[in-house]
């Protein structure tokens, strides 16, 4: 007799804290998986009931009852189909990151995550107690073992225990956020586990944005020889099927060889669009407003916002001053017209003059410096925040990672806002993304991409007046942030040591600014945010 098993992977977008809404969505997907996909088993993401990551919501007394009520409701819906769904399990003073196996109206088993990540953006040791036992359930003549996310990455113990308990296949539910190169790493690690244990792995992941994290899905199936035989499209919601058959002694997934993964720039662009869309919509904003300066950063942010929300939800504002070039004004209007967004010009000269006059009794005898430049930026920030207050549109800031790193941004000026789409994009990546977007359809004037970057806060200003070329700056920043290298380590790669020391000192001195900046989409292995925790007050200097 040939055992057949059809597993349906629910690659869906859920909302942290919306337990009732998440449960209703999960219940609807259970019904679809049973009625339209004839699935034996449908699998949902890690902590699907409360959303991932729930953070300190787990400590709130009301969450436990909501989760228990939702799990009871789903249990009643699991008839004629088996369901694996992630949830926070409360057991006295302990909380477990668990997966429930629901079948025929019963809670047949619970698996508790055994490996709790406590690095990067993860701090699960703060919340959860590690489990100790395997869970294996039989369905359609196939023994299915369950693991959760980190259980498969640094060790094969959890999966090995499931195989020892008789598992023919491992189903892993995940809350794994996107970063460049992440899918290749996932599939490589799963392939190692599959070859080591000689069983297939079914990897299921969520999609959608949650604050600075973006989840890309990438659910996939690896056969017992370590080959990727199925891959769900990145950032796409849906129910995706895989069928297994037992032939002789082997359990084989019947699937076609998947398409190649999209290029990194396409994935990054889609990740940022997803992050903007979900941050704005899940938080109930009516749209976005941003300052359109005529430079490449704001131009890219405008295109991203339109692709995320639609032109009708985007307001662009040009706020020229004496140093704003005619080219910038022309290019900003051209882009706004091309993308069909509402566009307004609000000159700031009168505002700057009033503030300068007000400050004159105290500062009038002092030489001009960045103070006057920052007044311009803060006037612009004030206008955008006023528009945001009145229209209920969140302000998108347009600073990139290179600028955030070295403090080339004005606190309470161009840093004022609610969300920072390209906060984790270096300037060199910004240029690549701009060209990628123009490859889809005309969106950013070519002159905006080709011109030398300038903040236009003083006559003939260029970024290169204060910073090294971005093709030099960005690799130095990556070496510091991603690799944690010292000045000497980075200089050994051929960079001028004095320059490296100056850049790292700028990074250190501007931590206080970044602590007050809005969240932004994380797309790299380390972003300014939850996985960058440097002290503001520090004597660690350029010799280090």
Q: Is the pLDDT of residue 33 over 90?
A: yes
Global model pTM greater than 0.75:
yes
Q: Is the pLDDT of residue 543 over 60?
A: no
Beta carbons of 380 and 292 less than 8 angstroms apart: no
Is 452 noted as a catalytic residue in this protein? no
CATH code for 4-257?
Answer: 3.60.110.10
Q: Is 316 left (phi over 0), alpha (psi -120 to 50) or beta?
A: beta
Q: Report domain 266-463's class.
A: alpha beta
Structure token digits, residue 221: 């199936």
How many other CB atoms are there within 10 angstroms of residue 441's CB atom?
Answer: 10
What's the pLDDT score for residue 537?
A: 85
The one catalytic residue among 46, 89, 150, 403:
46
Average pLDDT over residues 207-225: 94
Q: Which residues of 50-86 are buried (b: 16+ CB within 10 A; e: fewer)?
A: bbbbbeebbeeeebeebbeebbeebbebbeebbbbbb
Return the domain boundaries, the chain: 4-257, 266-463
Give 466's pLDDT tier (boundaries 50, 70, 90). Answer: confident
CA contacts within 13 A on the Cβ side of 177 = 26
What's the pLDDT score for residue 192?
A: 93
Average pLDDT over residues 368-383: 91
What's the pLDDT score for residue 260?
A: 79
What's the pLDDT score for residue 245?
A: 83
For β-strands 238-247 and 4-11, DSSP reports them as antiparallel
Structure token digits, residue 82: 């088996």
Q: Is the pLDDT of residue 256 over 90?
A: no
The pLDDT tens digits for 515-532 are 999 999 999 988 888 888
Give 250's pLDDT tier (boundaries 50, 70, 90). Answer: low
What value does the mean pLDDT of the chain take?
91
Is 124 noted as a catalytic residue in this protein? no
The closest alpha carbon to 84, from 113, 48, 59, belongs to 48
Signed CA dihedral, 465, 289, 389, 529: sign only: negative
Give 541's pLDDT tier (boundaries 50, 70, 90). Answer: low
The one catalytic residue among 50, 108, 149, 425:
149
What's the pLDDT score for residue 247?
A: 67
Do 4-257 and 266-463 come out as alike in CATH topology?
A: no
Is 113 noted as a catalytic residue in this protein? yes
The one catalytic residue among 8, 29, 108, 113:
113
What's the pLDDT score for residue 1?
A: 38
What's the pLDDT score for residue 531?
A: 86
Q: Is the pLDDT of residue 420 over 80?
A: yes
Give 156's pLDDT tier (boundaries 50, 70, 90). Answer: confident
Q: Is the pLDDT of residue 248 over 70?
A: no
Flag the least confident range among 76-80, 399-403, 533-537: 533-537
What's the pLDDT score for residue 386?
A: 96
Q: Is 33 left (phi over 0), alpha (psi -120 to 50) or beta?
A: alpha
The pLDDT tens digits for 167-204 are 999 999 999 999 999 999 999 999 999 999 999 999 99
Signed CA dihedral, 356, 462, 484, 177: sign only: positive
Q: Is the pLDDT of residue 509 over 50?
A: yes
């Amino acid at each position: 007799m040939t055992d057949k098993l059809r597993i349906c992977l629910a690659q869906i977008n859920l909302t942290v804290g919306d337990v009732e809404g998440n449960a209703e969505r999960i219940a609807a997907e259970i019904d679809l998986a049973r009625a339209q996909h004839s699935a034996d088993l449908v699998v949902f993401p890690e902590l699907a009931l409360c959303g991932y990551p729930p953070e300190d919501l787990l400590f709130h007394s009301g969450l436990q009852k909501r989760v228990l009520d939702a799990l009871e409701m789903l249990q009643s819906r699991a008839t004629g189909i088996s369901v694996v769904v992630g949830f926070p399990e409360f057991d006295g003073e302990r909380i477990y990151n668990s997966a429930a196996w629901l079948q025929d109206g019963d809670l047949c088993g619970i698996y508790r995550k055994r490996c709790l990540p406590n690095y990067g953006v993860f701090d699960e040791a703060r919340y959860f107690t590690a489990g100790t036992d395997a869970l294996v359930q039989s369905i359609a003549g196939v023994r299915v073992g369950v693991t959760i996310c980190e259980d498969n990455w640094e060790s094969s113990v959890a999966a090995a225990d499931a195989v020892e308990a008789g598992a023919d296949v491992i189903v892993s539910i995940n809350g794994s956020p996107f970063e460049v190169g992440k899918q290749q790493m996932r599939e490589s690690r799963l392939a190692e586990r599959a070859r080591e244990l000689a069983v297939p792995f079914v990897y299921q992941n969520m999609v959608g944005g949650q604050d600075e994290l973006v989840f890309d899905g990438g659910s996939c199936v690896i056969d017992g020889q370590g080959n990727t035989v199925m891959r769900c499209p990145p950032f796409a919601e849906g129910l995706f099927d895989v069928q297994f058959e037992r032939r002789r002694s082997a359990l084989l997934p019947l699937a076609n060889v998947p398409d190649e993964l999209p290029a990194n720039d396409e994935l990054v662009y889609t990740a940022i669009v997803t992050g903007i869309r979900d941050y704005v919509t899940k938080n109930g904003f009516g749209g976005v407003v941003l300052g359109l300066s005529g430079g490449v950063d704001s131009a890219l942010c405008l295109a991203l916002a339109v692709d995320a929300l639609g032109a009708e939800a985007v307001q662009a504002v040009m706020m020229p001053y004496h140093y704003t070039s005619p080219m910038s004004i022309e290019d900003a209007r051209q882009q706004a017209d091309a993308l069909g967004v509402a566009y307004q010009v609000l000159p700031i000269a009168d505002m700057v003059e009033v503030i300068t006059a007000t400050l004159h009794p105290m500062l009038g005898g002092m030489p001009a410096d960045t103070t006057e430049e920052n007044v311009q930026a803060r006037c612009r920030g004030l206008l955008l925040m006023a528009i945001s207050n009145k229209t209920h549109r969140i302000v998108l800031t347009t600073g990139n990672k290179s600028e955030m790193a070295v403090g080339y941004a004005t606190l309470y000026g161009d840093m004022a806002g609610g969300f920072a789409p390209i906060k984790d994009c270096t300037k060199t990546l910004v240029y690549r993304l701009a060209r990628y977007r123009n490859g889809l359809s005309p969106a950013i004037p070519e002159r905006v991409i080709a011109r030398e970057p300038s903040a236009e806060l003083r006559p003939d200003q260029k970024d290169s007046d204060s910073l090294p070329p971005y093709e030099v700056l960005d690799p130095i920043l990556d070496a510091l942030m991603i690799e944690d290298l010292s000045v000497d380590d980075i200089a050994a790669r051929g960079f001028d040591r004095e320059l490296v020391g100056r850049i790292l000192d700028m990074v250190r001195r501007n931590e206080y600014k970044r602590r007050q900046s809005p969240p932004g989409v994380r797309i790299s292995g380390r972003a300014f945010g939850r996985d960058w925790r440097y002290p503001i007050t520090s004597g660690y200097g350029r010799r280090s």
